[in-house]
Structure 1
Amino acid sequence: MSRLRSAATSTAGVDRRTALTAAAAVSLAAGVGFALRPTDSEAATAATGRTPVVRSRPAAAAPLAPVPTGTTLATVSTPHGSGYRRLADGPGWHRVVRTELAKPKVGRDKRRHALAAFVQFTDLHLQDVQHPLRLEYLRASRKDVWRPQEALTVPGAVSLVERVNALRGAPATGAPLQFVMATGDNTDNNARCELDWFMKVMSGGRITPDTGDPGRYEGVQNSGLSLYWQPESTAGDGDKALGFPHLDGFLAAATREVRSPGLNLPWYSTVGNHDALPLGIYGAHGDPYLAEAAVGGKKLFSVSAADAKKLQDSIWGGRDPKGAGYRDFLKSHARGMRSVTADESRAMYTPAEYLRAHLDLAHRGHGPVGHGYSLANLHAGTQYYAFRIAGDVIGISLDTTDAGGHYQGSVGTAQLKWLERTLQGNKGSYVIVFSHHTSDSMTNTRPDPGRPGETRHTGAELVTLLCRHANVLAWVNGHKHENEITPHRNSAGGSFWEISTASHIDHPHLARIIELVDNKDGTISLFTTLIESAAPARTDFTDFSQTGLASLYRELAFNAPGAKTNLAGTSADRNAELVLKKG
């Protein structure tokens, strides 16, 4: 019998109380917002021009004092020493004014009026590190494919929630924060247990990031293989040779119960490729062999460097979108697999189960019910929607994943037409667009098996569409695990900013606050400010508390062999003021 039933139970169906709550015009807690009828939703219907599905907290009525405390304006975790480098508090990152799309005017700081303020999480990649379908063994070909910090994704994410809960206002304007948007890859391996952990991290609850045998860790970090960091072994390995510590008790600490307070703000969810596809790569939900392998009792721990490179090249080249080659790869290495404890909670979840988990009242937190998704999405089989951020600002969450497989994205014609109608129907509102993929990573135009005759559209096409609408201010996304802010402009003068934020699994482990202000001089400013988790920068190797593990998570990530060193981006991609002409 499966050890973990909560995820399977929460995604199997929506109870009558949940359905009635999601279907009615229910007022949430004071100051939080409203969930409107799914039939009024812009989420999945062909109707246009109506008020979007949910309303977040109101923005401040007047400018307030800036609140840089708790952000990277004040301090940033900074490495010291050589070899395996320890982290400590360092100087903050200054704010850069970006003028590519409009010239800022003097005195705007005294005139400006706050319109909206929110937080973006992205690429949390909450991981079941003992899952049988994981690809750790590709490290034989590329060092950065497996990360030593992966067992600590849950306490790391909870510490990020704690950081947001401790903020007392937006850093540039002091306006109250209205909501958090998670822009995809919230889970890592499309596993039900990971989905359950994500919902509890965001809305609150107790999480045990452990699957299989409840009394014994069964992953690569006690395998005895020198390919991986073996924290509790006295034997050498490739990571210890680089200075990684010996930590008795690490694995028991990494798999024990974690408690999340849940966000004290409403939160919304955008789907990413790791949420929608097994391993974030394969359109393989219908493959019975892989479905059984996910919950079964065999796991592959190592392969030759040549075999690892062959599979890695197939993944990067997108040559096996349905996972048939991966299935054959596992079959060919069956005799080299090790026995592990089977666990049904590791099963792949479907798009419908993803929606049901969000609609489950057990994961309501501070709302809204469905976290942007509605019963209309469930009935139509879609994962895109619109919502009212403030009186004159709407948010649009897109589904840029391609069910045909591969980690790069695109959108189908039906969604593109829906987006056009939604923009046309809300000309009187400013628009912030959210997605998982960036414009330059939307290059995958494989047909969606569920809509085989539908054309898929690239990021370049989406940029062209958004530039035609003067009310679009920003496109906020993740996917690349790198801070990057890009100005977009067309020949007719249409323009917007694309704001891409680093992940919370690869160093530097960041989220981003975004503030929208009217400068009352014909310009709009978007302020972007990065935040780290609440865990101290300095790590104590003897501290296995929940907070201590979150600190260790960040430091291990900084030192991960093969990790990219440019993911923080330039100073202009971090804390910035992005100026636009008022449309």
Structure 2
Amino acid sequence: MSEISRRRLITGMSATAAGAALSLAGGRFASAAARDRAIAVTAARAVRTEGTTLEQVATATGTGAYKRLAAGPGWPLVVRSDLAGARTGRDDRRTGLACFVQFTDMHLVDSESPVRFEYLARYLDSAHRPHETLTVRGAASLVERVNSLPGGPYTGRPFSMVVNTGDIADNHEHIELDWYLTVMSGGTVTPNSGDPTRYEGVQNSGDAAYWNPETSFQDAYKAKGFPEVPGFLTDAGRPFTAPGLRVPWYSTIGNHDDSIEGTLPDLGLLGSLYTGDRKVEGCDDADAAKLADALRHDPAAAAVLLTELLAGGGVVRQVTPDPRRQPFTPTEFAQAHLDPAYTGAGPTGHGFTSDAVSSGRLYYTFPISDGVLGVSLDTTNRAGWADGSIGTAQLDWLENVLQSHSSHWYDTDGHVVRGGHGNQLIVLFSHHTSGTMGNLLPDPYHPFEQRHDGNTLVTLLQRYPNVVAWVNGHTHTNQIIAHAHAVPERAFWEVNTASHVDYPQHARIIEITDNGDGTLSLFTTLIESAAQYTTDFHDTSDAGLASLYRELSYNDPYATPAQKTGTAADHNTELLLARPGS
């Protein structure tokens, strides 16, 4: 059989071997044999699979409560024809148009900060994670992975950039932002605050509610199999050199980058608590329940309760004050990206300009490749709460961008409108997803501006055929949604990727191709950090800690790894859609 015929056969097989191998219940592979057949087809279609989850995936082993990780079988490509049919022979016709990487939800944590709510973990799973002292090392290991890859597994194109879709910091502190910018640009970073010679957080408190890794004290985590790791906290906070990305990178702001713990509006009232010397390590169940409820429903009451706990209502320890814990504002977020010390592989500002600093408008456009435009949105709402929305000014700006880069679009009545100065494919990036943009509270900094939800944004995007994808984070879950439309060219894909703080700690490669048959394909491939899967509880080297970061995240008793990992249809996919104008 000729090479061309073989490739055509493989392309035709892919929809059946990979797609039909899915069970009807939730998009999981029906059997190991079906998975293996799909893996073989995947390997044949790809340029390369090495270093991605197409090759191998961290897999839990053992029967105890605490699971060790090992290398498991890769995840095959799943062809999704929800929005357009998969035509045979497209592998031989396809032309690569773009290739980039998405990071999201790094949550670089100042684990010693006084404004943390670790004692609420049983009510709010994100309040404390046993691996949070390692977030900076985990992020550096992810950068190392991207640097090791030559390009996209299906086009072979080098990455044109990395786009980080928000929640860069965990508690919008200047020190967390500095850590992020250093990890992305490269340089020496010390993931420790307060006293640089020691750890001053809850994990050496002797409180049984927390994992105390450096001692034999039998806490609740060790009862679940967590190990004793001598030197863990000391070594987690020591300086190390981050390699920095070798490709340009851009940042999008998330709710944890502009509010207290991603939930409470920051009106400047708690700044002195951030930089002070008192940290709450615990409180009784009644106070914890009240504070957890207030964080969800009553920000003002939450601030009062936190102040009361610091005044003697909780277990309080003295910590070393640190002015670097001061929260940054959205304007300072943009300004920090313009610091020449953090230019790295560029571009200057990483999407933000001096105009963004002066105006406070943290949304912008940028070139992904020839003919493909990126649009970064600011979906945060400074009124607080985790979910987002966008204001009218940004919505109008977005529509102007879409019109200026489209040869035609549809008005609100469904009629075609001709115009624009270009005909570029458009990829949107935001922190929030279409389903998590229901926070319509007035922005306290623009109280008279109307806010708009995710449904409004989807409706707008479907009027512009050049929009092919909306890439986002926030949910910490892998999920790919097809936004269908009766007019095929008005459909688009929403690609939501899991976080890099909760397991499975994924990033995603996205490649766009023209199939030469009236369709486009978006190939989405998940990648893990460069850390090895196996861990050694006596190895607290940089590499050893990066491996522990992944394994500890899997075993976090408040986490839901299976749910956040998603199904096969949310992992490594080929997402087909009609090419605009076809």
Q: How does 1:246-285 map to 2 (within 5 A)?
A: 246-285=228-267
Q: Aligned-pair distance for 1:473?
A: 0.2
How many Å separate the matches in 1 of 2:85 and 2:123?
Answer: 48
How many Å separate the matches in 2 of 1:139 and 1:264?
Answer: 37
TM norm structure 1: 0.87
How many Å separate the matches in 2 of 1:511 and 1:144?
Answer: 19
Tell me the residue number matched to 2:497: 501
Q: Aligned-pair distance for 1:144?
A: 6.0
Tell me the residue number matched to 1:202: 184
How many Å separate the matches in 2 of 1:65 and 1:330?
Answer: 53
Tell me the residue number matched to 1:449: 444
8 Å CA contact 1:294–1:348 kept in 2: the answer is: yes
Matched residue type, 1:398 = L
Q: Aligned-pair distance for 1:351?
A: 1.1
Tell me the residue number matched to 2:307: 331
Change (3 A) 1:143 1:280: closer
Tell me the residue number matched to 1:582: 579
How many Å separate the matches in 1 of 2:438 and 2:124?
Answer: 24
* Number of equivalenced pairs: 514
Change (3 A) 1:539 1:455: same
- Post-superposition Cα deviations, 1:311-361, rounded to whole Å, max 9, x if no partner, equal 222323xx23xx422221122212132211111000000111111110111
Q: Aligned-pair distance for 1:143?
A: 5.9
1:163 aligns to 2:160 (yes or no): no
SS at match of 1:566: helix
Q: How does 1:69-84 map to 2 (within 5 A)?
A: 69-82=50-63, 83-84=65-66
How many Å separate the matches in 1 of 2:486 and 2:441?
Answer: 30
Identity %: 52
Q: How does 1:2-81 map to 2 (within 5 A)?
A: 66-81=47-62
8 Å CA contact 2:83–2:576 kept in 1: the answer is: yes
Tell me the residue number matched to 2:526: 530
- Post-superposition Cα deviations, 1:393-436, rounded to whole Å, max 9, x if no partner, equal 10000000001111100000000000000000001000000000
How many Å separate the matches in 1 of 2:264 and 2:125?
Answer: 22
1:425 aligns to 2:404 (yes or no): yes
Tell me the residue number matched to 1:45: none
Q: Aligned-pair distance for 1:490?
A: 3.1
8 Å CA contact 1:141–1:306 kept in 2: the answer is: no
Choose which of 530, 546, 559 in structure 2 pairs with 1:550.
546
Matched residue type, 1:354 = F
How many Å separate the matches in 2 of 1:384 and 1:132?
Answer: 31
8 Å CA contact 1:535–1:550 kept in 2: the answer is: yes
SS at match of 2:351: coil
8 Å CA contact 2:426–2:467 kept in 1: the answer is: yes
Tell me the residue number matched to 2:13: none
Change (3 A) 1:425 1:144: closer
Q: Aligned-pair distance for 1:172?
A: 1.2
Matched residue type, 1:291 = G
How many Å separate the matches in 2 of 1:352 and 1:484?
Answer: 31
8 Å CA contact 2:228–2:537 kept in 1: the answer is: no
How many Å separate the matches in 2 of 1:274 and 1:142?
Answer: 15
Matched residue type, 2:433 = T
Tell me the residue number matched to 2:29: none
Matched residue type, 2:301 = G
Tell me the residue number matched to 1:356: 335
Gaps of 5+ in 1: 1-63
Q: How does 1:140-539 map to 2 (within 5 A)?
A: 140-141=122-123, 145-287=127-269, 290-316=270-296, 319-320=297-298, 323-333=299-309, 334-335=311-312, 336=314, 337-427=316-406, 428-493=423-488, 494-539=490-535
Q: Aligned-pair distance for 1:147?
A: 1.2
How many Å separate the matches in 2 of 1:454 and 1:491?
Answer: 33
Gaps of 5+ in 2: 1-44, 407-422
8 Å CA contact 1:229–1:239 kept in 2: the answer is: yes
Change (3 A) 1:120 1:140: closer
How many Å separate the matches in 2 of 1:394 and 1:331?
Answer: 47
8 Å CA contact 1:270–1:434 kept in 2: the answer is: yes
Tell me the residue number matched to 1:47: none
How many Å separate the matches in 2 of 1:142 and 1:528?
Answer: 31
Matched residue type, 2:384 = G
Matched residue type, 2:362 = Q
Q: Higher relative contact order by CA 8 Å / sep ≥ 6: 1 or 2?
A: 1
How many Å separate the matches in 1 of 2:196 and 2:384?
Answer: 33
CA RMSD of superposed structures (Å):
1.2
Change (3 A) 1:581 1:140: closer
How many Å separate the matches in 1 of 2:551 and 2:286?
Answer: 31
Q: Aligned-pair distance for 1:515?
A: 0.1
Tell me the residue number matched to 1:568: 565
SS at match of 1:558: helix
SS at match of 1:389: strand
8 Å CA contact 1:192–1:346 kept in 2: the answer is: yes
TM norm structure 2: 0.87
8 Å CA contact 1:141–1:305 kept in 2: the answer is: no
How many Å separate the matches in 1 of 2:435 and 2:302?
Answer: 26
- Post-superposition Cα deviations, 1:535-577, rounded to whole Å, max 9, x if no partner, equal 1011111111111101000000011102112111000000000
Q: Aligned-pair distance for 1:492?
A: 4.0
How many Å separate the matches in 2 of 1:141 and 1:522?
Answer: 50
Range 486-495 or range 397-406, more displaced: 486-495
- Post-superposition Cα deviations, 1:120-151, rounded to whole Å, max 9, x if no partner, equal 00000000000000110102545664211111
8 Å CA contact 2:440–2:453 kept in 1: the answer is: yes
Matched residue type, 2:443 = D
- Post-superposition Cα deviations, 1:228-282, rounded to whole Å, max 9, x if no partner, equal 0001122211000000001111110111012111000000000000011121112
Matched residue type, 2:437 = M
Tell me the residue number matched to 1:48: none
8 Å CA contact 1:67–1:169 kept in 2: the answer is: no
Q: Aligned-pair distance for 1:216?
A: 2.1
SS at match of 1:370: helix
Range 376-385 or range 552-561, more displaced: 376-385
SS at match of 2:341: helix
How many Å separate the matches in 1 of 2:460 and 2:294?
Answer: 33
How many Å separate the matches in 2 of 1:268 and 1:130?
Answer: 28
SS at match of 1:77: strand
- Post-superposition Cα deviations, 1:425-456, rounded to whole Å, max 9, x if no partner, equal 00100000000000000010111111111000
SS at match of 2:545: helix
8 Å CA contact 1:144–1:560 kept in 2: the answer is: no
SS at match of 1:176: coil
How many Å separate the matches in 2 of 1:434 and 1:146?
Answer: 28
Change (3 A) 1:519 1:280: same
Q: Aligned-pair distance for 1:283?
A: 1.6
8 Å CA contact 1:285–1:350 kept in 2: the answer is: no
How many Å separate the matches in 1 of 2:531 and 2:46?
Answer: 26
SS at match of 1:567: helix
